Amino acid sequence: MGFALRINFVDVICDDSLKNTFIDGKKSGFSFDVRLSNYRGHFLSCIDEFKVTVDGEEIADSDVTFGINNKEFNVTEFPYLISEFWQLIEPAHINVIKKGGLSEGEHNIKVHLMLRVPYMPLSASAEDTKYMPLDSCGEKVLCIKEN
């Protein structure tokens, strides 16, 4: 990919959203919220790349779910989610399965999020199916405080 549209309207990773998740009282992973850094929402099928990295460790796709519209999807389902629209003002809730969750303190959260803009073809040719890539990646240090 030679270039990508990048518009920084908001921080992609939401402040104060990092929390451990629990099943039967035991830490089973963690979650945080992300937003689109763009001027409009997108269908989930327009997400071409989505990766989560925490403290330098890339998380396997099978351990990540993406929640919007009161639904939760595995990130491998994106190409098929042609009717699920991510509203610009609604943060998505990211859940990560990780036995033991995260330790108390600061953690570097990195989200690699590349979309295609379906109304901005890169060519006037009907045979060309390439569209403007949109870079909505983000990185932030968030803190978990245990009570």
Give the pLDDT confidence of 38-52 residue by residue, as tens digits: 777 889 998 999 999
**pLDDT of 16:** 93
Q: Answer whether residue 93 is part of any domain.
A: yes
For residues 115 and 134, the answer to whether their CB atoms sit within 8 Å is: yes
Could you tell me if residue 3 is inside a domain? no
Q: Residue 84 has what pLDDT?
A: 95
Residue 63 in any domain: the answer is yes
Q: How many domains does the chain have?
A: 1
Q: Is residue 86 part of a domain?
A: yes
Q: Is 9 within a domain?
A: no
Within-domain flag for 5? no
Looking at the chain, which runs of residues are DSSP E strands? 19-23, 26-34, 42-43, 47-54, 57-58, 64-68, 71-74, 85-86, 92-97, 105-121, 131-135, 138-144
CA distance 59 to 51: 7
Residue type, 69: N
Residue owning tokens 């990211």: 94
* Tens of pLDDT, residue by residue, the chain (147 residues): 455 555 665 688 999 999 999 999 999 999 999 998 777 788 999 899 999 999 999 999 999 999 999 999 999 999 999 999 999 889 999 999 999 999 999 999 999 998 887 666 676 666 666 767 777 888 999 999 876
pLDDT of residue 118: 67
Residue 72 lies in a domain: yes
Distance CA 72, CA 95 (A): 9
Domain that holds residue 29: 19-144
Query: Whole-structure pTM over 0.85, yes or no?
Result: yes
